[in-house]
């Protein structure tokens, strides 16, 4: 695969989970990665250190998303780290979930916070990034399988559905600049957001039984898909949503008759 050696990347929500796996993979492929975090400086520093320990290049960028001035702070730190260089790869990964935000229980405050972090922030991050994003650059948004299968956490699902629409529209708008825009949609992945996998008896085996490949997803599984879109080999793919889920909910594995 054609790696992004010598290029620059911003990965939001990169201190833990899928975001960390993406940052580490892009750095391993040769990109210098801006590791964004909101509040967990210790985790972000550990991600940066892990990248540097194996010879990669990375620097931390702090900005709590969903609050006043978030985009200004993010790009202030990013521009300082880039030191005049353009941006080549943007990965919008940062997101939050509120399990209580169901149709029966969601509050206006919960709704607004989820939309602010999961939709508003990536939209305006892209808007601000476009002047410094190199022609031929890459934008990858991280969505979720809950855009096509139903869960009670309807507000979270709505925010991820918005990213799917955003990706298609931007791919069309930015095509003349050679910028590709794609969406990666993880299935059930073992991250801190899905800590219930380890607190509910039988959760891991239950999820494994729902997938064709019979295991729970890992951060690296998602990062590898992102790496393809970020690479030169992804140059002719844009406006797509890729389900990266091990064959989740494909159906029974044996005849039911």
User: Active-site positions?
Assistant: 156
R_g (Cα) of the chain, nearest Å: 18
Burial class (CB in 10 A: 0-12, 13-18, 19+), 54: exposed
d(CA 120, CA 163): 10
d(CA 18, CA 241): 17
Sheet holding 87-92, edge to edge: 57-62, 32-37, 8-11, 87-92, 133-142, 180-186, 241-244
d(CA 97, CA 114): 7
Within a 10 A sphere around the Cβ of 228, how many other Cβ atoms? 16
d(CA 158, CA 138): 24
């Amino acid at each position: 695969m054609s790696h992004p050696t010598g290029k620059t990347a911003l990965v939001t929500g990169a201190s833990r989970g899928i975001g960390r796996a993406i940052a580490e993979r892009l750095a391993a492929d040769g990109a210098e990665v801006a590791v964004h975090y909101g509040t967990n400086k210790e985790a972000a520093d550990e991600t940066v250190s892990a990248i540097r320990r194996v010879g990669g290049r990375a620097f931390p960028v702090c900005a709590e998303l969903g609050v006043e001035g978030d985009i200004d702070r993010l790009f202030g730190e990013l521009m300082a780290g880039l030191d005049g260089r353009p941006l080549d790869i943007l990965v919008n990964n940062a997101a939050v979930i509120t399990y209580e935000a169901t149709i029966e229980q969601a509050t206006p405050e919960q709704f607004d916070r989820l939309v602010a972090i999961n939709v508003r922030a990536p939209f305006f991050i892209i808007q601000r990034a476009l002047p410094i994003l190199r022609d031929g650059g890459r934008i990858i948004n991280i969505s979720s399988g809950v855009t096509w299968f139903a869960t009670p956490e309807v507000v979270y699902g709505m925010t991820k559905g918005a990213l799917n629409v955003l990706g298609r529209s931007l791919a069309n708008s930015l095509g003349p600049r050679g910028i590709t825009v794609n969406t990666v949609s993880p299935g059930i992945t073992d991250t801190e957001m899905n800590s219930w996998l380890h607190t509910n008896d039988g959760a891991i085996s239950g999820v494994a039984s729902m997938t064709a490949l019979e295991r729970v997803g890992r951060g690296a599984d998602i990062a590898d898909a992102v790496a393809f879109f970020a690479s030169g080999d992804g140059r002719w793919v844009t406006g797509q949503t890729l389900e990266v889920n091990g064959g989740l909910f494909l159906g029974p594995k044996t005849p039911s008759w």
